[in-house]
Amino acid sequence: MAEAFERLQKIQAEDVADLCLGSVFLATGGGGDPYVNQLLTEAALRSHGPVALVAASALPDAAWVLPLGEVGAPTVSLEQLPVGDEPLVALARYESATGRRVTHLIPFEVGGANSVLPLVAAAARGLPVVDGDGMGRALPEAQMMTFAIAGVPPTPAVAVDYLGNTVTFDTANVDDYERQVRHLAIAMGGMIFTAEHGMVGAHARGCVVPDTLSFAVGLGRLLRQRRGPAKDLLPELEALFASSSYGILRHLYTGKVVDIDRRVQGGFDIGEATLAPLRGPGEPLTIAIRNEYLLASCNDRVLASVPDLIVVVDSETATPINAERLAYGQRVSVLGIGCPGHYRSEPALRVVGPRCFGFDCDYVPIEDLPAGPG
């Protein structure tokens, strides 16, 4: 099994399932189920052919890179299907509203359902997609994207709902934009599609989290081909992440879910999962949830925190488990992964650090934290 991932030149229909599985892993519990988007993407790639991937570092200065994706409730998307052409409609409306010709598309996040959506529009329009994204994981809000952190203005932006209604945004800052777009999603069925944070290639080169689409395909392939106990897969996962901009992957805990306390607050799933050792005494692990898994601790000793990635997998199959599917009695393994360097700067930590999610602690990189309980 390869220890490094392969940087792909293109994404083909056969890669999409692996891309989605890898994306669910990187989504750290959030991001939503990608299955319907997987179907749409596979169909688009089969009828239009593969989509070219362009390394962020190879973007021409004058390229116009457009992030494209959906905003809303992951749980809703389990039930309410997209029309299917929203990414294309959003792209077309963006171009007509701004008068710009878009040259490259890119996902908001390589997390769950959003990682494949730009491929649908890219395939139909013959556009390349940047091999990267704006998070390297999933996070809930627009200001948390590396594009926003690097100062790319969110607007002009367009949003398209399931009825084909279009809203154009022109806001003073990303916080206002996030508030407005969130309320539009709530008003229009819980899920909308947006095109936002458009930027020139020269700017994108500096703020895209690179290679994440190729990485997700490689990760998904490993998880599919080597489905089995998480502990057995650990050496290969460690090697794979070491070869990437994440750097470190570390096993934090294996146990069973003994309690899930989950409530909805301010438009988010807020909660806490408690894990206990499979047998015998030992310290419990708690994971704080706000859509994503944000903070893992043992008796108030933090083992990993946002923006580092906390991933929960089925300990018997190494299949990642979304927060909404975490259930009492499941046997799970918890992995901690270093976040890409883009999130480790002072300005980045001001919008994605633990305090942004209400935790009373500062970010400490996972490699500086204790490696496990006791």
Partner 1 sequence: MTLRIGIDVGGTHTDAVLLDGERVRTSVKAATTADIESGVIDALQRLLAADRFDAQNVRAVMIGTTQFTNAVVERRELTPSAIVRIALPTGRLVPPKVDWPGDLAAALGDHVFMIHGGRLYDGRPLAPARDDEADAVIDAIAARELTCVAVASVFAPADAEPEHAFAERLQQRLPHVRVVRSCEFGRIGLLERENAALLNAALLPFADRVIDGFERALAARGLDCPLYISQNDGTLMDTAAARRFPALTFASGPTNSLRGAGLLTGERHAVVVDIGGTTSDIGVLRDGFPRESNLGVAIAGVRTSFRMPDILTLGIGGGSLVGAEGGRIGPRSVGHRLLQTGRAFGGDTLTATDLAIAAGHLDLGDRHRLADLPSATVRRGLATIAARIDEAVDRMRSSREPVTVILVGGGTALLSEPLSSAARTLRPEHAAVANAIGAAHAEVGAEAERIVPVAERAIALDELERQARQRVAAAGARKDLIRINDVDETAVSYMAVPTVRLRVKAVGPLDLEALAHG
Which residue in the set 79, 300, 346, 368 belongs to the binding site for partner 1 (CB under 8 A)?
Answer: 79
- Select the residue interacting with partner 1 from 171, 248, 314, 373 (CB under 8 A): 314
Contact indicator for 323, 58 with CB cutoff of 8 Å: no
**Interacting residue with partner 1 among 80, 243, 245, 274 (CB under 8 A):** 80
Q: Report the nearest approach of partner 1 to the CB of residue 4 (Å).
A: 25
DSSP bridge pairs for 313: 320, 333
**Binding positions for partner 1, 227-256, rule CB under 8 A:** 227-229, 231-232
Out of 50, 316, 355, 372, point to the residue binding partner 1 (CB under 8 A): 316
| Closest residue by Cα to residue 66 from 92, 33, 30 | 92
State CA 372 to chain mean position distance: 25
User: To the nearest whole angstrom, how small is the minimum distance from the Cβ of residue 43 to partner 1?
Assistant: 8
168 near partner 1, judged by CB under 8 A: no
Is 229 within 8 Å of 314 (Cβ atoms)? no
Contact map string, positions 262 to 291, toward partner 1, x by CB under 8 A: xxxx-xxx-x-------------------x
Any contact of residue 196 with partner 1 (CB under 8 A)? no
Count the Cβ atoms, other than its own, within 10 Å of residue 265: 10
Instruction: Report how many residues bind partner 1 under the rule CB under 8 A.
Output: 53
164 vs 370, beta carbon nearer partner 1: 164
CB–CB of 178/197 below 8 Å?
Answer: no
Tokens at 361, concatenated: 């602690």
Q: Which amino acid is at 340?
A: P
Given 331, 355, 365, 373, the residue binding partner 1 (CB under 8 A) = 331
Q: Cβ of residue 186: shortest distance to partner 1, in angstroms?
A: 5
Q: Mapping DSSP to helix (H, G, I), strand (E, B) and coil, where does residue 47 land? A: helix
Give the Cα-Cα-Cα angle 254, 336, 114 (nearest 5 degrees): 110
Whether residue 281 has a cis bond before it, omega within 30° of 0: no
CB 191 → partner 1: shortest distance, Å?
A: 9
**CA gap 179, 174 in Å, rounded:** 9
| Three-class SS state of 41 | helix
Binding residues for partner 1 (CB under 8 A): 35-36, 39-40, 43, 72-76, 78-85, 162-164, 182-183, 185-186, 189-190, 227-229, 231-232, 260, 262-265, 267-269, 271, 291, 314-317, 319, 321, 324-325, 327, 330-331
